Structure 1
Amino acid sequence: MSAAADGATGRRQLAGYALGSVGTGIHATVPGLLLLYFMTDALGVPAGVAGLVVALPKAWDALFNPTVGAASDREALRTGRRTRILLAGALALPAAFAAMFLSPLTGSGAAAWVAVTFVLASSAFALFQVPYVALPAEMSDRPEVRTRIMVWRIVCLTVGILVAGGLAPAVVSLAGDGRRGYAVMGAVVAVLLLVTLLVPALGSRRVPARPGPEPLGLLAALRTARGNRAFFALLGGFVLQAAAVAIMLAAAPYAATYWLGGYGLTSVLFVCLVAPSAVAVPLWGRAAARWGRLRCLTAATVLFALASAALWPAAGTGTTRVAAVLALCAVLGVAYAALQVLPLSLLPDTVHADAARTGRLQSGAFTGLWTAGETAGLAAGPGLFSLALAAAGFASATTDHPVAQTATARAGVLLGFSLVPALLMLASLPALRAYGRRRAAAPSPAGPAEPGGPAEPGGPAEPGGPGEPADSLAGDLS
């Protein structure tokens, strides 16, 4: 891949790999956006119970994902590829996803149905996601090529998130709302998942795996990762940011319904949030090449926190509150692009730095731990939001029997949509600072410093850094 990445064949390979992120973006978005609302406002599941249903399967992922990572390394050692686990996830996820929105029950029975099907869908997603995230570290040894791969991937992830957030609520409305609308939406999304996940799963046969001389089991992977302080600092900041985004995502349909005039605005909110990301990703790539990835990530974190906090007064009062909220969502989208592409661009560097320290390139184990942390953050978001709803007295309902909410319950919705995500973003800044200190202290086998920060471990300078001409990441997408 590193030899061919600049040619037409390389671009086709990059596109085939990145297409999988359309599917991962869809699956990561739709449950976080609609599942909690589906249970509380269509199936009559109490908010606290619905929050547990959303959080507990993801807590299972936090245990299951590292196991998949270790299994992926064992398969890579045995077969030289990670294809079989990828293919199993690509085939199982669409069926489990559709089943999540096909509950024939309401109340506690519906909660049990969704919990079981969500666990199955999350397990299938892990089978695909963990080896999929491991592939870039094996596609090239060069940091600038890995960044190019990541830019392609994040652009496709943005497309998947945009399709999910814009299409899924619209399909629910067009199909008649209620349980029937959600069932139709689940079937449509399942077809999209099947197509987008199969392409990279089959294409992974062309990527030779390099897991190291012996695969590490879960406990050994944890022991190895324990010494990689830069990895855990980066992961800690990323988990807090994932929780902030997840809370805002879970609150979006509630904010649209109870503050902005109707559930139909959920799709509009999402488009205004994600559409700017598609433009901002290559711009952040150029900025990172000039000023450094960590510096740009810190700036984006602060920007997201400020725009999120501004949603509180914008949504609460005024005749132009819808326009103000949509404008702030566009600002959030610009910051969100950096929060997606830059941590994932830094992750392979920690993997290669650990390989320089230990002699093992255990990308499956590290990405298993990474996706476990990400999953924990994504689970904490809607879980905390549902608890806030329950504490504020939010009353669940079915589609046929809507319930008027109290002023306190509505305030809880707005709090979860604005101030809580802002505080979590600010809380991630010390972790990012700790990552910068620890990567500076880590042994670096090669390369001068990237602009705006200490030397990157595990490889040469970033494009645009000292000793290497600037490389426009926007041009990599052409």
Structure 2
Amino acid sequence: MTGERLSLRTKLAYGVGDLGTGMTANILIFFLLPFLTNTVGMAAGLAGSIYAITRFWDAVNDPIIGILSDRTRSRWGRRRPWLLFSAIPFGLTFAAQWWIPFPGQMGPLFAYYLAVSLLFNTFYSAANIPYASLTAELTQDYDERTRLNQFRFAFSVGGSMVAVVTFPLLFNLLPDRAAGHLLAGACFGAISAVPLLLCFWGVRERFQSQRDPLPLLQQLRVAFSNRPYLFVSGIYLCSWLAFQFTATIIPYFIVFWMGLPEVWISLVVLAVQSVAVLTLFAWTCLSARLGKRAMYLIGAGFWLISQAGLFFLQAGQERLMIALALLAGIGVSATVYLGPWSMLPDVIDLDELHTGERREGIFYALMVFLQKVGLGLGLFFLGQVLDWAGFIPSVAGEPLPSQPESALLAIRLAIGPLPAVALIGGILLVWLYPITRQRHRQILRELEARRAGAAPEGSP
């Protein structure tokens, strides 16, 4: 149970499964709000409210999908059938978000983008929740789970790095920005479905509960009574909010504050994500040596320095901007990608010790929900702030307008102090997080003894 090693084939097959969801999530983070305000011509507050409404649906949808995947019984296991059957609709609904079916008609457009967002998030959950739940079912080793997430986020971040660079290149291929966005969305919609199918064929679940899970409300009560899980949830929400605020405002910061062409958006994102990929392996080694908590705290320190620097950045300091982006990538790798996701399987083991059941679905469902809460809150909050600050939306086919000083200040606050506050919240929660490597080993010994029908030696 401890010291086990998964094969390289299994790690690669598992890792590739997050390629499509990682690409689509990051494209939405960086380009969706600018698409709605600068190409569709929608007011920032109205555009942001679409994704706030969608989060209410996710509050119902995500736990239900987690429960259903826990209850699934098939010759393919509990999680893998969800990857198979959600792949195609996931890709189609992503592509549909980049179509402008009623140009200039804000009422019908609002209804369309809201409906498509609800559908896409449903299929995103149907793919990503069962996929994420596989981590705890492939291995129970403390450090091997970190390595497994290293492969997962190497593909996810690597894919998102390619996506955020090539997506704007694709939509700039055509002189019509609306047609260009549809072309880019269709290409990545098709690409994003394939990795889910590859993961379906490449992995097999190893640790599964054969008992039917508790009813949904009872599972939620048990989950939220798990104190370490509350810490992990808070850590992830704070980290993802910090990332979401920064990523969403980057296009506005580069174009309107730095006065640079849109190609710089891809360069900055490439700097962040490339360093995040390269440092995943270093953070994995550091985690094995010092523990997951120390890994997070050190990474957060790098990221805070970057956020402070971005707030004071001035037009003409492009090199310093790239340097700060590289520094942010080091921190993002540890705090957003590796840290919370490698902590969660340990919490699930503790839950099994307390309840006698393995209920990965509900725990991962709530984490995916928190990810989408971060996305929704980021888009909604920043949309409202930009509206309040007097941000001027674009008219399709016309040059981008000059923004008032109040809107420029709001953009700077959203890329510096606002993410820093969220990240400090994550630091405080990590400092108090109770499951160390030693505690996890004790949990596994007690589980092993229970399965063998004997009480562990020296256990309380």
Q: What's the TM-score, normalizing by structure 2? A: 0.91
Per-residue CA deviation, residues 292-342 of structure 1 (Å, 9 max, x unaligned), is 11012012123212211210112x35x3x1111111000000111111112
Matched, 1:186 2:189: no
Shift in CA distance, 377/200, structure 1 to aligned 2, threshold 3 Å: same
Partner of 2:363: 366
Per-residue CA deviation, residues 137-183 of structure 1 (Å, 9 max, x unaligned), is 11112222222211111111111221221111221222336211110
8 Å CA contact 1:46, 1:396 repeated in 2: yes
| Aligned pairs (5 A) from 1:205-284 | 206-208=204-206, 210-260=208-258, 261-284=260-283
Q: Distance in 1 between matches of 2:59 and 2:325?
A: 30
Partner of 1:350: 347
Matched, 1:53 2:38: no
| SS, match of residue 174 in structure 1 | coil
8 Å CA contact 2:88, 2:193 repeated in 1: yes
8 Å CA contact 1:350, 1:458 repeated in 2: no
Q: Select 2:425's aligned residue among 427, 434, 437.
A: 427
Q: Distance in 2 between matches of 1:163 and 1:344?
A: 22
| Aligned pairs (5 A) from 1:6-405 | 10-76=7-73, 80-105=77-102, 106=104, 107-176=106-175, 178-204=177-203, 206-208=204-206, 210-260=208-258, 261-314=260-313, 316-317=314-315, 319=316, 321-339=317-335, 340-401=337-398, 402-405=400-403
User: How far did 1:277 drift?
Assistant: 1.0
What's the C-alpha RMSD, in Å, of the aligned pairs?
Answer: 2.1
Q: Distance in 1 between matches of 2:233 and 2:133?
A: 15
Name the amino acid aligned to 1:373: L
Name the amino acid aligned to 2:348: V
Shift in CA distance, 76/227, structure 1 to aligned 2, threshold 3 Å: farther
Shift in CA distance, 109/408, structure 1 to aligned 2, threshold 3 Å: same
Name the amino acid aligned to 1:252: I
Partner of 2:444: 459
8 Å CA contact 1:88, 1:124 repeated in 2: no
Q: Distance in 2 between matches of 1:202 and 1:38?
A: 35
The answer to which of 367-376 and 195-204 deviates more is 195-204
Q: Distance in 2 between matches of 1:429 and 1:246?
A: 17
Q: Distance in 1 between matches of 2:127 and 2:2?
A: 23
Unaligned ranges ≥5, structure 1: 441-447, 461-478
8 Å CA contact 2:300, 2:423 repeated in 1: yes
What is the number of equivalent residue pairs in this alignment? 440
Q: What's the TM-score, normalizing by structure 1? A: 0.87
Q: Distance in 1 between matches of 2:59 and 2:246?
A: 21
Shift in CA distance, 293/4, structure 1 to aligned 2, threshold 3 Å: closer
Name the amino acid aligned to 1:215: P
| SS, match of residue 129 in structure 2 | helix
Shift in CA distance, 62/409, structure 1 to aligned 2, threshold 3 Å: same
User: Identity rate of aligned residues, in percent?
Assistant: 25
Q: Distance in 1 between matches of 2:295 and 2:270?
A: 24
